[in-house]
Structure 1
Amino acid sequence: MLPSMYRGLWRAAVHTLRASKGNPPSRFLSTCNGVSSGLADAETIFALSSGHGRCGVAVVRVSGPASATALSCMTGLTRSLPAPRTALLRSITDPQSKEVLDRGLVLWFPGSVPGMRPAEAGEFTRRAFQAGKLGLTEVEGLGDLIHAETEAQRRQALRQMSGELGRLYQDWSHKLKRCLAHVEAFIDFSEDELIEDGVLNQVDRSVCDLQAEMERHLKDERRGERLRSGVQVVIAGATNAGKSSLLNTLCQRPAAIVSPIAGTTRDVVETALDIGGFPVLLSDTAGLRDSPDLVEREGVRRARERVEQADLTLVVVDSAHLPSDAQKAATILQGHLRSVLPTQEQPKTVFSADRFLLVLNKTDLLPEEQRLKLHRELRLVSGLPPVSLISCHTNKGLQDFLTVLHSSVKTLCGDPLSGAPTLTQARHRAHLQQCFAALAQYQRYRDIDLALAAEGVRLALTSLGRITGRVGAEEILDIIFKDFCIGK
């Protein structure tokens, strides 16, 4: 909810817009000489640009010819507008009642387009895209930056907004345009001996290189998508192992009910966390056991479903139930892990360190000597994922566990600032997979039907264009005549 002064400012902007009826004053028109005719029919728009919510400062942005009218009516600047791009401190008043709403900074950026109305969601950014100031992937990066909640998300969004991902796709798009132009030229002009025979061999090499690059790009293990939407971390294990206590400890609030009665948690309890700058969606689940209770059985089914979907599973075990011998304890833990795993998991991936962490809880109930022995020896046992010994009651061992958890989450997300730019959205992945499949069509029909092979390249270019937002047939013709000088 906006503070009352900003609600008044907003109403005043609306009144000004209605009064102006989209007609800019003559002095404003004189500042707009040279505005391109392609923008002349657009409307003036306004919006709250600083976001909704309680705040001490609000920014109202206006773009269009009636901007001068709004500025004059609401600031008393009736004779001249402020110097361009210079901040001016003014009292802001209601244009009808003349009531002072607030004092604030006014900035004037000359330039305009006609009509006035409230801006639609994202319309300022859409105009920047249509004007060629931002590419589509950069626009998406801007959106991710606005919604970023962790430091790693901010870094990834800022990198995408800088245009690095867009430049990669534009480079691929340029190569595909050249491939398509060469194939089309060969089809249309080879019989007139205007095209050299080696042209298609160059296309073959380019297509193979592009396929290899796309394949490497797609095999990113969804790191960018995880970082954008959050790593799915699920707490699983037997009843009364302390899963809900671990959730409450990590989020530092009583998010889940904790009770000595087994089977207290029956549904999935979720909470969002920031683990060392990385976004995590943490889920507490029902204890895994056979139960005659229909509700609890549904909770167990949901728990197993979440484990199947999880990026990382924290398998919680009551350490008080483990034998003191480390080898025997390891055997029991391996069996417990298998009971938690999805049924389709293969033995070779059962204890993958990037999928599972073992959390031995309630170590405050163990003799100190036994705890130290388990801590020392279980880490040396092969065939187990990383093991952390903690007590949710005393918080002992929690810091070491958080270090292990942060390392696992960072591995799943990767470093957003290093290496090649990664896919950040499922939309990108779907279009790239279609592009890759279309290039396979070129390979399949290359020696059978060159027209169908060319269609494969065209489909690949269209799929890539859906990511970048830009593709046109005119560019293909430009390449044909530039590269081959058809007809001189």
Structure 2
Amino acid sequence: MTDTIFALSSGVVPAAIAIVRVSGPVAFEAAEALVGPLPPPRRAGLRALREPSSGELLDRGLVLAFPADGSVTGDDLVEFHLHGGRAVVRAVESALAVIDGVRPALAGEFTRRSLASGRLDLTAAEGLADLLSAETEAQRRAALRSADGLIRRQIEQWSAATVAAAAQVEAAIDHEEEGDVGAGDTLARGVADQIATLVRDIEVVLSRPSSERLHDGLRVVLAGPPNSGKSTLINALAERDVAIVSPIAGTTRDRIDAPVVRDGRAWLFTDTAGLTESDDQIEAIGVARARESIAAADLVLWLGDGPPPSSEMIAVHARADLPHRRHVPEGRIPASGTSVKGTAALWEALGRAASTLVPAADELALNNRQRALANAAASALRHADGQSDLLIAAEQLRIARELFDRITARASVEHVLDALFARFCIGK
């Protein structure tokens, strides 16, 4: 990473203020080429920015310099706080681009340098990526916990416990003939207890829902026979017209998705074709897709008057505002797509169901990548637990420790980094 990089790091221009960051070995020299002497470290100074070769005035703005030992990237870093016009930003970027050793940054390159310099670990970088894309309060809170190091600290605790167990096993291997470490059977039982406790701790975290549930939204499918009120209800839940409503059965022939944010939680509702047997080829395709959606759903709302096909489905008494449907059968939730309060009881039921499907506000939640590695580490620890062959136990503990390191990127995970930082904007 010998290049010095620059990019717009604030929001899309035009805006009131635009922040252009420069980071790398010649960041200070590049900045001085535009503004002359820099202000003292970490103190804002008003400067005139000029084109290096012609001296033409580009803008007047605040300049801040951050030496490498205290910067977020681990390199010298300069921020230009400019007027947020497109032409201003374009002119400053053009002036930086002609300086030797300076180039535009790639997506996520600033954060990637932070990771490489040890300013943050991979779990914090993933949390930062989630924070940048957060749209709900629950997403924001979970992303902040990850970005602030909650996951890293938990992984470090697991890794430290693994190292402690491995140290005892290695000591037993080295001194099993000397008798100064303790009786082998007693030591083995003690190590096994430590490993078993560690596995239980990991299993508790793995038993919680993944963090993707917060970001992708809970998938709720509305299912039932034709003309059972699915389209009317999804419009009411989304509070906008997303599906065509008609008294003609079979109006909906394909899946219709409606993303909704309510009470700080993301949902994805899907209207489906009515489940029926049909000789109509198009309608049959719609029914097949409806069944696929039901199989992949987190929750299914069953709007048919008959018993739900599965006990896990939420039985809904739709069109409850109609005179002939005002009696609500036992075990069903009344809902109406035409009245203001028609979905209140249904939202309450969905909220209760969601509480078991998404991470709680104060819980540590792993993403799918982290979960897979933690699960593999737990498996290695189980193999080590109770091993009579200490060499095999030591190898399994080494594998578990390496898997923990891969979660935080202490081990090489280049393919993961490439995928992660592709999600970032250019200036982050």
Fold shared by both chains (TM-score > 0.5): yes
Cα distance change on mapping 1:228 and 1:130 into 2, 3 Å: same
Question: If each structure's helix is expressed as a fraction of its own residues, which one has the higher value?
Answer: 1
* Cα distance in 1 between the residues matched to 2:231 and 2:355: 24
SS at match of 1:358: strand
Any conservation in 2 of the 1:278–1:410 contact (CA below 8 Å)? Answer: no
Q: Residue 421 of structure 1 corresponds to which residue in structure 2?
A: 364
The gaps in structure 2 that reach 5 residues or longer are 69-74, 77-99, 413-428
1:440 aligns with 2:405: no
Contact 2:237–2:343 at 8 Å: present in 1 too?
no
Residue in 1 that maps onto 2:307: 336
Q: Cα distance 1:395–1:110, how it changes in 2: closer, same or farther (>3 A)?
A: same
Q: Match for residue 27 of structure 2? A: 67
* Mapped contact 1:461–1:471 kept (Cα < 8 A): no
Q: Please state how far the C-alpha of 1:235 moved relative to its aligned partner.
A: 1.4
Change (3 A) 1:67 1:134: same
Q: Which amino acid aligns with 2:248?
A: I
How does 1:141-180 map onto structure 2 within 5 Å?
141-180=127-166
What is the alpha-carbon distance in structure 2 between the residues aligned to residue 55 and residue 247 of structure 1?
37
Instruction: Between 451-460 and 286-295, report the one with greater CA deviation.
Output: 451-460
Distance 1:284 1:239 in 2: 12
Query: In structure 1, what is the equivalent of residue 103 of structure 2?
Result: 117
CA distance in 1, matches of 2:227, 2:294: 18
Supply the AA of the counterpart residue of 1:416.
A
Deviation at 1:98, TM superposition (A): 5.6
Q: CA deviation at 1:301?
A: 1.4
Contact 1:237–1:288 (8 Å) recurs in 2: yes
TM score, norm. by length of structure 1? 0.71
Q: Structure 1, residues 234-276: CA drift from partner, whole Å, max 9, x if none?
A: 1111111221222223323332222322212222111321121
Shift of 1:412: 2.2
Distance 1:178 1:337 in 2: 52
Q: Which residue of 2 aligns with 1:289?
A: 276
C-alpha displacement of 1:87: 2.4
Does structure 1 retain, via aligned residues, the 8 Å contact 2:42–2:64?
A: yes
Q: Is the Cα–Cα contact under 8 Å of residues 254 and 289 in structure 2 kept in the other structure?
A: yes
Q: What is the CA–CA distance in structure 2 between the aligned matches of 1:91 and 1:405, rounded to whole Å? A: 57
- Rate the CA distance shift 1:241–1:97 in 2: closer, same or farther, 3 A: farther
Partner Cα separation in structure 2 for residue 282 and residue 95 of structure 1: 56
Gaps of 5+ in 1: 1-40, 318-332, 342-349, 473-488
Q: 1:301 aligns with which of 273, 288, 312?
A: 288
Show the counterpart of 2:125: 139
1:362 deviates by 2.4
Q: Is the 8 A contact 1:389 1:397 kept in 2?
A: yes
Match of 1:184 in 2: 170
In 2, distance between residues paired with 1:219 and 1:61? 42
What is the CA-CA distance between 1:52 and the residue it aligns to?
4.7
**SS of aligned partner of 2:18:** coil
Q: For residue 276 of structure 1, what is the aligned residue in structure 2?
A: 263
Which residue of 1 is the match for residue 204 of structure 2? 216
- Summarize the alignment of residues 38-437 of structure 1 with structure 2, pairs less than 5 Å apart: 42-52=2-12, 55-74=15-34, 77-78=35-36, 80-95=37-52, 101-111=58-68, 112=75, 115-197=101-183, 198-220=186-208, 222-317=209-304, 333=305, 335-338=306-309, 341=310, 350=311, 352=312, 356-366=313-323, 371=326, 373-374=327-328, 378=329, 381=330, 384=331, 387-390=333-336, 392-417=337-362, 420-423=363-366, 425-437=367-379
Whether the 8 Å CA contact 2:320–2:334 is kept in 1: the answer is: no
Maintained 8 Å contact 1:358/1:387: yes
Alpha-carbon distance in structure 2 between the residues aligned to 1:142 and 1:365: 49
Q: Is contact 1:49–1:61 with CA below 8 Å preserved after alignment?
A: yes
**TM-superposed deviation, 1:101:** 5.0
Alpha-carbon distance in structure 2 between the residues aligned to 1:223 and 1:50: 30
Provide closer, same or farther for how the CA distance between residues 462 and 68 of structure 1 changes in structure 2, counting only shifts above 3 A: closer
Determine the C-alpha separation between the residues in 1 that align with 2:53 and 2:251: 62
Indicate the SS of the match to 2:403. helix
TM-score (structure 2 length as normaliser): 0.80
User: Rg larger in 1 or in 2?
Assistant: 1
- Aligned equivalents of 1:193, 1:411: Cα separation in 2: 51
Shift of 1:299: 1.4
Q: Over aligned residue pairs, what C-alpha RMSD do you find? A: 2.7
SS in structure 2 opposite 1:108? strand
**The residue matched to 1:107 in structure 2 has which SS?**
strand
Q: How many residues align?
A: 381
- Aligned-partner residue type, residue 283 of structure 1: T
Cα deviation digits, residues 90-135 of structure 1 (max 9, x gap) = 4545546666555543222234569432223222222222332212
* Secondary structure of the structure 2 residue equivalent to 1:301: helix
CA deviation vs aligned residue, 1:205-231 (integer Å, no higher than 9, x gap): 1111112112222112x2533113221
Per mean C-alpha deviation after superposition, the further-off stretch among 154-163 and 106-115 is 106-115
Going from structure 1 to structure 2, the CA distance change for 1:252 and 1:53 (only over 3 Å counts) comes to farther
Match of 1:256, SS state, is coil
For the 8 Å contact 1:177–1:461, the answer to whether it is kept is yes
Give the whole-Å Cα distance in 2 for the aligned partners of 1:274 and 1:216.
29
Residues 157-209 of structure 1 show CA distances to partners (whole Å, capped at 9, x for unaligned) of 11122212211111110111121222122112322334322432321111111
Distance 1:102 1:360 in 2: 64
